[in-house]
């Protein structure tokens, strides 16, 4: 079963208008996209993702709402261009759910999970860039340790990096998970390889850089009164969102809609354990002159 994390909170804060234009920057399997589209009449939602395979699944999952959805394959850095490709400079709302999609985690061939054996890939766009195997097999030990510590906040990063270098070549996801598990002991509920896999995934996909680009571009493509909702799952990401949103508020360009991050309720976490670490923050753009022009109905295709 597919769960859209903090769906009710997201929709409430987006304040979806029937004739509005919305951007789901991280469509995944289409859960949030479908919920937004279902509230539209003359407007539509741009369903964007950097993972073309996920986008195709989202397309199949939302066939009954197809006339209200435009699918786009792009990174966060291309969002302004993506919106312009639909005939607009600004949108009424932007949603970004920064979590890894369920499909990515449960497809062994994508290499995201340490619970199933598969190629050590982890690319959200399998046609672009280096793989996790490239990182673990060719990075210097110190560089690998720094990466795992900084992006994964793994205190045992040096031990992990040393173990990886000694075990080279790392052949698969389970091979890497076993190497890490021997290097660091389990603490609490987390599998010992959790933080290492997270760090590698973030590095492979340049997630810190992509989030920076989202937080820079997002407010610029929102009209006056437009809203931006971001759901993050890692403290390092939530800190970036908090700092950027507060900066915009201090500059008088936005109003904070969430003084503190919203978190999932007990019912949601009971139904979907993966939502436990979710934090949602939202702003409303108040900068004057930040409006768009165009007839919504006139460009529907």
Is 147 domain-assigned? yes
Of 142, 175, 204, the one marking the end of a domain is: 204
Peptide bond into 169 cis (omega under 30): yes
Instruction: Note whether 11 and 99 are same-domain residues.
Output: yes
Asked if residues 285 and 224 have their Cβ atoms less than 8 Å apart, the reply is yes
Is 80 domain-assigned? yes
Instruction: Note whether 54 and 183 are same-domain residues.
Output: no
pLDDT at 2: 60
CB neighbourhood size of 252 (10 A)? 10
Half-sphere exposure of 12 (CA within 13 A, CB side): 9
Instruction: Note whether 61 and 198 are same-domain residues.
Output: no
Of 204, 223, 256, the one marking the end of a domain is: 204
222-232, strands of its sheet edge to edge: 69-73, 44-49, 21-24, 91-97, 222-232, 279-285, 254-256
Q: Convert the pLDDT of each residue in 221-231 to its tens digit.
A: 999 999 999 99
pLDDT at 190: 85
Instruction: Note whether 234 and 270 are same-domain residues.
Output: yes
Instruction: Note whether 152 and 211 are same-domain residues.
Output: no
Instruction: Note whether 186 and 219 are same-domain residues.
Output: no
Instruction: Note whether 12 and 81 are same-domain residues.
Output: yes
Q: Convert the pLDDT of each residue in 156-191 to its tens digit.
A: 999 999 999 999 999 999 999 999 999 998 777 889
Would you give per-residue pLDDT tens digits along the chain (301 residues)?
A: 467 999 999 999 999 999 999 999 999 999 999 999 999 999 999 999 999 999 999 999 999 999 999 999 999 999 999 999 999 999 999 999 997 888 888 899 999 999 999 999 999 999 889 999 999 999 999 999 999 999 999 999 999 999 999 999 999 999 999 999 999 987 778 899 999 999 999 999 999 999 999 999 999 999 999 999 999 999 999 999 999 999 999 999 999 999 999 999 999 989 988 888 999 999 999 965 444 443 333 332 2
CB neighbourhood size of 17 (10 A)? 17
* Residue 101 burial class via C-beta count within 10 angstroms: exposed 0-12, middle 13-18, buried 19 and up: buried
SS3 for the chain is CCCCCCHHHHHHHHCCCCCCEEEECCCCCCHHHHHHHCCCCCCEEEEEECCHHHHHHHHHHCHHHHHHEEEEECCHHHHHHHHHCCCCCCEEEEEEECCCCHHHHHCHHHCCCCCCCCCCCCCCCCCCCCCHHHHHHHCCHHHHHHHHHHHHCCCCHHHHHHHHHHHCCCCCHHHHHHHHHHHCCCECCECCCHHHHHHHHHHHCCHHHHHHHHHHHHHHCEEEEEEEEEEECCHHHHHHHHHHHHHHHHCCCEEECCCCCECCCHHHHHHCHHHCCCEEEEEEECCCCCCCCCCCHHHCC
Please name every residue paired with 114 in a beta bridge, in sequence order, or none if there are none.
none
* Residue 146 burial class via C-beta count within 10 angstroms: exposed 0-12, middle 13-18, buried 19 and up: middle
Of 186, 204, 222, the one marking the end of a domain is: 204
Residue 279 and residue 230: Cα distance in Å, rounded?
8
Domain range for 166: 126-204
Residue 126 and residue 86: Cα distance in Å, rounded?
26
Instruction: Note whether 185 and 233 are same-domain residues.
Output: no
| Angle 294-297-298 from CA coordinates, rounded to 5° | 65
pLDDT at 3: 75
Residue 110 and residue 121: Cα distance in Å, rounded?
6
Is 15 domain-assigned? yes
Structure token pair of residue 9: 């909170």
Half-sphere exposure of 204 (CA within 13 A, CB side): 25
């Amino acid at each position: 079963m597919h769960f859209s994390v903090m769906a009710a909170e997201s929709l409430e804060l987006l304040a979806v208008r029937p004739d509005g234009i919305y951007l789901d920057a991280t469509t995944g399997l289409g859960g949030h996209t479908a919920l937004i589209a279902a509230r539209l009449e003359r407007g539509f939602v741009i369903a964007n993702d950097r993972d073309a395979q996920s986008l195709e699944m989202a397309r199949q999952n939302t066939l009954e709402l197809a006339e209200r959805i435009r699918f786009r394959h792009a990174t966060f850095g291309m969002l302004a261009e993506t919106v312009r490709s639909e005939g607009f400079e600004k949108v009424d709302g932007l949603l970004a759910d920064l979590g890894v999609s369920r499909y990515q985690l449960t497809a062994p061939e994508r290499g995201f999970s340490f619970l199933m054996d598969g190629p050590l890939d982890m690319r959200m766009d399998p046609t672009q860039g280096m793989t996790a195997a490239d990182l673990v097999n060719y990075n210097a030990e110190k560089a690998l340790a720094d990466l795992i510590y900084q992006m994964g906040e793994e205190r045992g990063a040096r031990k992990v990096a040393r173990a990886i270098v000694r075990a080279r070549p790392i052949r698969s996801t389970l091979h890497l998970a076993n190497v890490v598990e021997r290097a660091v002991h389990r603490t609490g509920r987390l599998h010992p390889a959790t933080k290492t896999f997270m760090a590698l995934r973030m590095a492979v996909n340049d997630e810190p850089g992509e989030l920076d680009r989202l937080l820079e571009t997002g407010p610029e493509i929102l009209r006056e009164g437009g809203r931006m909702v971001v759901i993050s799952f890692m403290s390092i990401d939530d800190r970036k969102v908090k700092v950027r949103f507060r900066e915009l508020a201090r500059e008088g360009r936005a109003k904070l809609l969430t003084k503190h991050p919203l978190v999932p309720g007990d019912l949601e976490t009971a139904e979907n354990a993966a939502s436990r670490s979710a934090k949602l923050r939202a702003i409303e753009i108040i900068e004057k002159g930040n409006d768009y022009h165009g007839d919504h109905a006139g460009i529907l295709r």
